[in-house]
Amino acid sequence: MGFFRDLSKQAKRMSSDEEFLGFIKVIESLVSKILSLAMVAVILVSVVDLIVYLWQDLFFQPPVGFFSTTVIKIFGFFLNILIALELLENITAYLKNHAVQVELVIITSLVAVARKIIILDLEKVDGIELIGLAIAILALSISFMIVRFINKRSRDEH
């Protein structure tokens, strides 16, 4: 019975808006920290995977040029790590400021679309997909310019 009484007291304390918002901030912070640790693990595993892949390709494959796999595939691995680093930057920026930084999110999206274009196999893609990628790049670029302009203007005013 003591457990339910304590739980009831806790619930009553949480009924005030300030207490509840404080609880939500604690949960947000905890989730952000867990996501940061998970992203660090993903980045480290990706870097090890890239090193193993390059090692095997350089020393254990019969030589066909410098790399037996295409350089484009290797670029894809590097860009995956770069995107993961950008996501980690987004999470840590959230931890610092407790706000999503739209400019960082747009940059991360641009890097992801750039990765898609760099590794794109033009023989397997139709025109609609290319048009879609072009529209995505245009929309993200315009969004970035708008956010950059607004951020610059607000910094100049202060």
Token digits for 40? Answer: 């660090």
pLDDT of 64: 62
pLDDT < 50 stretches in the chain: none
Q: What are the CA-CA distances from residue 4 to residues 1, 19, 23, 44, 64 (Å)?
A: 5, 20, 20, 44, 70
Burial track 42-53 (b if 16+ CB lie within 10 A, e otherwise)? ebeebeeeeeee
Reference 84, options 36, 52, 117; nearest CA is 36
pLDDT score, position 98:
77
Question: What's the length of the chain?
Answer: 158
Q: Distance from CA of residue 12 to its chain's centroid?
A: 38
Taking residue 95's Cβ as centre, other Cβ atoms within 10 Å add up to 14
The HSE-up count of residue 125 (CA atoms within 13 Å, CB side) is: 14
Distance CA 132, CA 84 (A): 23
| Residue-level pLDDT at 44 | 97
